[in-house]
Amino acid sequence: MSQRGIRPFSKEAILMDGQLFSTLLPNELRDLATAPMTATGAYRRAYEEPFNRRARWRLVRHAGPDKDGVTWWRCPFCAGLLRSRNFPRTMRRSVKAPLVILPTSQQRCCCGTVSAPPADLPLVQKIPFGTTAWRISMNRRMAVESVNAALKGGYVNVIRGFFRVFGLVKITALLGFTIAAVNLDRIRSHEAKLAEGQDQPARRKQRRVGTWQDMIGYLEEAPSLSAGPPG
């Protein structure tokens, strides 16, 4: 992917994989390899683990965008993602924030809020690239897109004159049945896929999958960035 890689941003931040990071980010987390497309299970999680750790070093949006699209970002220590004994006020924060070791010479976590014009952050994404949360989100997005595709021609085409002769109430009722049928089709397909032994995030197995409720939920809930590997 062309948007991958490290780009200098300013003295106060590193721009990497569409995300701003603290300049205190350890070297071993700077140039990470992504999992091969075919990687599954523990093998994939081993690739994601450093990305999950790196996500803790990201800058957190503090304000904006304003009318010009400028956003302001706080360092991970100021934002409470990380703690260090070098910065005593961070030690009063939640112990859920990992404690990291920094050179004793490091006296300040940052030089204050960093501002970024939109042109400098064209690829910023809500969920850090390469993390477990990012993979789960991508799987969900693919699920939503496949439902859209199914309703627009793959399973049935609801755009082109499908219910032309009916009134709105009848259309709504019939569309309900159509979506239910698509759901059944998807559930069968999903079960077939599971039978093939495809690797799926464990926590989705307990739920009915492919329902509209799920689809709406997928759009609304962003998985926690602090979450480890599922299951």
Range list of β-strands (E), the chain = 6-10, 13-16, 19-22, 60-63, 71-74, 114-116
Q: What is the β-pairing status of strands 60-63 and 71-74? A: antiparallel
- Residue with Cβ nearer Zn ion (14 or 110): 110
Among 14, 32, 82, 109, binds Zn ion (CB under 5 A): 109
In order, the DSSP letters of 49-110 are HHHHHHHTTB-EEEE---TT--EEEE-TTTTTS-B-TTSGGGGGS-TTSPB----TT---S-
Quick check: 110 binds Zn ion (CB under 5 A)? yes
List Cα–Cα distances, 149 to 59, 122, 132, 146, in angstroms. 36, 27, 26, 5
215 in Cβ contact with 143 (< 8 Å): yes
Quick check: 51 binds Zn ion (CB under 5 A)? no
229 in Cβ contact with 132 (< 8 Å): yes
- Residue with Cβ nearer Zn ion (14 or 150): 14
- Residue with Cβ nearer Zn ion (105 or 206): 105
Among 14, 20, 75, 151, binds Zn ion (CB under 5 A): 75
Q: Which residues are registered as beta bridge partners of 13?
A: 10, 22
- Residue with Cβ nearer Zn ion (34 or 113): 113
Q: How far is the CB of 79 from Zn ion (least distance, A)?
A: 8
Quick check: 143 binds Zn ion (CB under 5 A)? no
Among 51, 73, 77, 129, binds Zn ion (CB under 5 A): 77
Of the ranges 110-118, 145-153, 154-162, 166-174, which one interacts with Zn ion (CB under 5 A)?
110-118
Between 41-55 and 132-151, two packed helices, what is the crossing angle to 10 degrees?
A: 110
Total residues in contact with Zn ion, by rule CB under 5 A: 5
- Residue with Cβ nearer Zn ion (110 or 121): 110
Q: How far is the CB of 52 from Zn ion (least distance, A)?
A: 21
What's the rounded Cα separation, in Å, for the pair 196 and 176?
A: 30
Q: How far is the CB of 74 from Zn ion (least distance, A)?
A: 7
Q: How far is the CB of 57 from Zn ion (least distance, A)?
A: 12
Quick check: 78 binds Zn ion (CB under 5 A)? yes
- Residue with Cβ nearer Zn ion (13 or 127): 13
Quick check: 100 binds Zn ion (CB under 5 A)? no
Binding site for Zn ion (CB under 5 A): 75, 77-78, 109-110
